[in-house]
Homo-oligomer: A and B are copies of this chain.
Amino acid sequence: MLHIEFLTDLGARVTVDVDSADKLLDIQRQYGRLGWTSGEVPTGGYQFPHDNEPDFDWTLLGARKWTSPDGEELVIHKGHAYRRRELEAVDSRKMKLPAAVKFSRGAKSTDPDQLREKSDGEFEYVTLAIFRGGKRQERYAIPGGRPNAQNQASQAQSSQPQAARPAPARPAPTARLAPQPAPHVAEEEPPF
Instruction: Choose one: B13, B162, B181; the contact of A132 (CB below 8 Å).
Output: B181
Instruction: Give the contacts of A1-26 with B (CB-CB under 8 A).
Output: 1-5, 7-8, 10-18, 21, 24
A contact residues, total (Cβ < 8 Å): 88
Complex: A179 Cα to B49 Cα, angstroms: 10
Whether B134 pairs with A180 at a CB distance below 8 angstroms is yes
In the bound complex, how far is the Cα of B116 from the Cα of A111, in angstroms? 11
CA distance A189 to B120 in the complex (A): 12
Among A16, A95, A179: residue with most chain B CB under 10 A: A95
Considering residues A133, A183, A192, which has the most beta carbons from chain B within 10 angstroms of its beta carbon? A192
Copies in the complex: 5
- A87 close to B192 (CB less than 8 A): yes
Residues of chain B with a CB closer than 8 A to A183's CB: 47
Give the complex CA separation of A188 and B191 in angstroms: 23
- Given A43-B108, A96-B170, A162-B192, 11 more pairs with CB closer than 8 A: A5-B15, A11-B41, A47-B181, A47-B183, A110-B117, A111-B114, A120-B191, A133-B175, A133-B181, A134-B181, A135-B176
Chain A: residues with CB nearer than 8 A to chain B? Answer: 1-5, 7-8, 10-18, 21, 24, 28, 31, 38-44, 46-49, 60-61, 78-79, 87, 90-91, 94-98, 102, 108-112, 114-120, 132-135, 137, 159, 161-162, 167, 170-192
* Contacts A/B (CB < 8 Å), 13 sampled: A3-B17, A11-B42, A12-B24, A12-B39, A14-B18, A21-B31, A44-B186, A87-B192, A90-B191, A91-B172, A94-B170, A134-B175, A161-B192
